[in-house]
Structure 1
Amino acid sequence: MSDSSPVRFGILGCANIARKASRAIALAPNAVISAVGSRSFEKATAFAKENGYPSTTKIYGSYEAVLDDPEVDAVYVPLPTSLHVKWAALAAQKKKHVLLEKPVALNVKELDVILEECESNGVQFMDATMWMHHPRTAKMKEFLSDSQRFGHLKSVHSTVAYFGDTEFLKNNIRVKADLDALGALGDVGWYCIRAILWITDYELPKTVTALRDPKLNEVGVILSCGASLSWKDGRIATFYCSLLTNIAMDIVASGSKGNLRVHDFVIPFQENVAPFYTVENSRFGELATVIHPAPTEQQVGTDLPQEALMVKKFSDLVGSIKGKDYKPDKKWPTISRKTQLVVDAVKASIEKGFEPVEVIY
């Protein structure tokens, strides 16, 4: 494959999120769906038809067959988290580049198995945290990095939640201990933690302390929880994640000179444009009846949805490895591992009676 050829994707499984990723691959200018595999040939066939796969797409009745296909360069893995360590590691062993759904693993020990296989086999790893690839994210970072406008970071708060109905809370894989045992912490908590680390330039907190009274289901899977994070220099962060609350996707970052707010950071309310709000040098007006200045709304447009931009970025990296003999970009596995470490620390703090847990890379 030359560096100008599209990256040929294999899809492992027919999860609902794979529908969104399939559309993203179709929209990305440097990627194509080459194969799809499920545990049954009939299910894979129906999935390919329902999602408008190219007629050239190969249909397989197993995940192994996708990994054994020499015309598959990379795989997208949307399987339940409990299956990630097996299939992502095997994909790397088969020299397939790995785009892995979040949460990437049940714990950092499992993730390390995946990352070691990716590194030893020279394949690119990236987790599918889509919002990081929206151009709004880079624009927000410009503001946060401006010492004259934002100043020094003091605190971050993030909330990500949605409401699971009775059917969801009974049957969805996110509430099954044998499939996605991290529950809300791994699903929506991943976004909160990644946002906090992104704002702190991926500097891990010194300690993580889970907030009391998380909500668990009858098999012990987390349905909602929160935590506080602290750094040696006094910065603090908090987050709340839930499967029991109306949709929320918020970040509030407070600096010594300015603030940033965004209300839809995980999935923008509109696909082609996304806002965020900044304010600098706020002060009270006469009699403290108003605040000056009012926040400014920044609008950031995009020609491609963020998930297609993610596929494009991943495919750019894969193309450089295959066409130019570049090494895999270590940024992506590093930030995945740091996110997983904080997820693990929150879970450990809950299990230890809400005691602070030190985070060690």
Structure 2
Amino acid sequence: MTDENTLVRFGVLGCAEIARKVCRAIDLSPNSILHAISSRSIDKAKQFVIKNSLSESVEVYGSYEDLLDDPLVDAVYVPLPTSLHLKWAVLAAQRKKHVLLEKPTALNVGELDRILEVCKSKFVQFMDGSMWYHHPRTARMKEFLSDPKLFGQVKTIYSTSSFLPPPEFFNNNIRTKADLDSYGALGDAGWYCIGAILWSMNYKLPTTVTALPSTILNSNGVVMSTTVAFHWEQEETTATFYCSFLSHETMDVSVLGSKGSFHVEDLIIPYEESSATFNFTSGAAFANLHIGWNMKEQEVLVQNELPQEALMVKEFSRLVKGIKDKEIRPDRRWGDISRASQVVLDAVKSSVDSGFNTLYI
């Protein structure tokens, strides 16, 4: 039986819908435990515990400050609106709580730099909530992508992330409000596309970023749909992505290299929790007389021991425990990954705001 004193104890700031999924992940992860839930209303926090059948031992707080003052909380998960990330991530880090922060991480890279600065000064771990990085499929895709004989050099990347919510979403959801989550579809869905593209390029920033005039804004000036183009001058590589609240559910990434290519349809949330696939080809060519191909795409099946969100929590908790035990230092790579995505996100937003000009990073 696991000694609870060895587990990383999580507190959750807020009762957003995504918090339900992460609370489940904390429970499934073998090295963490949900210790506390907080909301601006203690009644709301209590209802969250009841609705999600959480343990009666979970502490319930009617303010975020009270949770941060709990000395038993090792780490916090922050699913608050983006406009609140700077305040609460900084306060958490100042109290030496490790920070798992929902994406997009901040309203701009300056805010994120402040969060990362405090995390560094207080010797706490930072990570954003992009769960797909932690799926073993992602590591397998990177193996193929990094093989010069099978894949060659990345030439172009295409990614989409979109969904069509019900009508009430556009009137009530925080992702449509400029004062709460001003990036809209760009920050919510586009963050994944940007992350997948940068991951494919080993996090090298593009030379230029251009949002296309087909971008659709709501009455609050928040992006509901956009298409964006990137260019890496030195590598002569391009990428495009489409993110939207106005079209059918998609989570695609295609990466084309000089010798091979791969495609995944369900990057952000796999079709199934226990396994995931991707398709690849290497050395494909047309058959004689161009009446077919010399091969079909190969499907790679990757099994996973836990759902990807639980694997994220497990890795985060491993780092937190190692830091607590003074065995390791905080892994700053996760902050670097988030910062690269934030820099590009800011550039896309600036391109939109400037009338779709091409911006150099």
Q: Name the TM-score, length of structure 1 as normaliser.
A: 0.97
Q: What does residue 255 of structure 2 align with? A: 253
Where in structure 2 are the equivalents of 1:301-316 lying within 5 Å?
Answer: 301-316=303-318
Return the alpha-carbon distance in structure 2 between the equivalents of residues 292 and 3 of structure 1. Answer: 57
Give the letter aligned to residue 239 of structure 1: F
Maintained 8 Å contact 2:26/2:33: yes
Q: Which of 328, 331, 338 does residue 330 from structure 2 map onto?
A: 328
Q: How does 1:255-294 map to 2 (within 5 A)?
A: 255-294=257-296
Task: Indicate if the aligned counterparts of 1:8 and 1:32 stay in contact, CA closer than 8 A.
Answer: yes
Q: Counterparts in 2 of 1:131-210, with a 5 A limit? A: 131-210=132-211
Cα displacement (A) at 1:53: 1.9
Q: Once the two structures are superposed, what CA deviation does each residue of 1:97-117 show, in whole Å capped at 9, x if it has no partner?
A: 000000111111111111111
Preserved contact between residue 152 and residue 257 of structure 1 (Cα < 8 Å): yes
Distance in 2 (CA, whole Å) between partners of 1:124 and 1:26 is: 20
Q: Which amino acid aligns with 1:327?
A: R
Shift of 1:327: 1.4
Q: How does 1:90-129 map to 2 (within 5 A)?
A: 90-129=91-130
Residue 353 (1) aligns with residue 355 (2): yes
Q: How far 1:303 sits from its partner (Å)?
A: 1.8
Structure 2 match to 1:40: 41
Structure 2: which amino acid aligns with 1:328? Answer: P
In 1, Cα distance between equivalents of 2:163 and 2:230: 23
Moved more, 51-60 or 238-247: 51-60
Q: Is the 8 A contact 1:3 1:322 kept in 2?
A: no
Deviation of residue 94 (structure 1)? 0.7
Secondary structure of the 1:324 match is coil
1:234 to 233, 236, 240: 236
In 1: Cα distance, 2:23 partner to 2:77 partner: 9
Paired residues of 2:214 and 2:227 also in contact (CA < 8 A): no
Deviation at 1:324, TM superposition (A): 2.5
Q: 1:337 aligns with which of 336, 339, 353?
A: 339
Query: Quick one: distance in 2 between partners of 1:172 and 1:4?
Result: 39
2:300 alignment partner in structure 1: 298
Deviations 1:265-305 (A, max 9, x none): 00001111111000011111132121221000111111200
Report the Cα distance in structure 1 between the residues aligned to 2:26 and 2:171, rounded to whole angstroms.
32
- Give the drift of 1:167: 0.8
**SS at the partner of 1:268?**
coil
Q: Secondary structure at the match of 1:344?
A: helix
- What letter is aligned with 1:178? D
After alignment, is 189-198 or 286-295 more displaced?
286-295
- SS of the aligned residue for 1:44 comes to helix
Q: Give 3-state SS (helix, strand or coil) of 2:314's partner.
A: helix
